[in-house]
Amino acid sequence: MFIDDCKKIEGRLLYRSYFLNTPAECNVNIFIRKNETKVIIFQKHRHNGTSPTNCYEDLATSLYHQRLFHLDIKTIKWFLYYEEAKKVSYSEYEWQLCPKEMFNMVMDWEDGHFKDGAIFKRINEEHILNILEMAEYPSELIC
């Protein structure tokens, strides 16, 4: 659990992805401690443009170069959080993403960027609150 040595940065991340090339935005929380940093990108049910799920590696690379470049990349843990229920349908496939699902995003760093192919590791429900409950710290806007 984070304590007094934590700095929280939160705000909106505005981006344009190669996927749809339309403007989009998502919420981001960054928790910085001496030995560890946690970055949470929030997937909202209703938003315009490319979902952060579909361009997570690009968003993480941009965040690292813009805000976290002074940190050791190995000390940063990356998360994707679904705030609301979402029904997803693609031709014959259909599934329901439950509200308050969180994934640890495992990515390979190579030549100054995260490679495509992030691995989504589901976080147990009881651990999600421990990651999200760090809300009592000063905040600033990311962009």
What residues does each domain of the chain span?
7-132
CA dist list (Å): 20 to 54, 61, 63, 113, 129: 10, 18, 20, 20, 33
| Separation CA 134–CA 40 (nearest Å) | 11
Cα 125 from Cα 118, distance rounded (Å): 21
Whole-number pLDDT of residue 16: 77
The pTM of the full predicted model, rounded to 2 decimals, is 0.76
- Which H or E element spans position 86? strand 86-90
CA distance 28 to 43: 9
143 residues of the chain, pLDDT tens digit each: 334 566 777 788 888 776 667 788 888 988 887 778 889 998 776 666 778 888 899 999 999 998 899 999 999 999 998 776 555 555 555 545 555 678 889 999 999 999 999 998 888 777 777 777 653 333 333 32
Identify the CA nearest to 79 among candidates 96, 53, 104, 58.
104
State residue 109's pLDDT score.
94
Q: How far apart are CA 60 and CA 65, in angstroms?
A: 9
* CA distance readout (Å), 1 to 77, 125, 133: 14, 16, 9
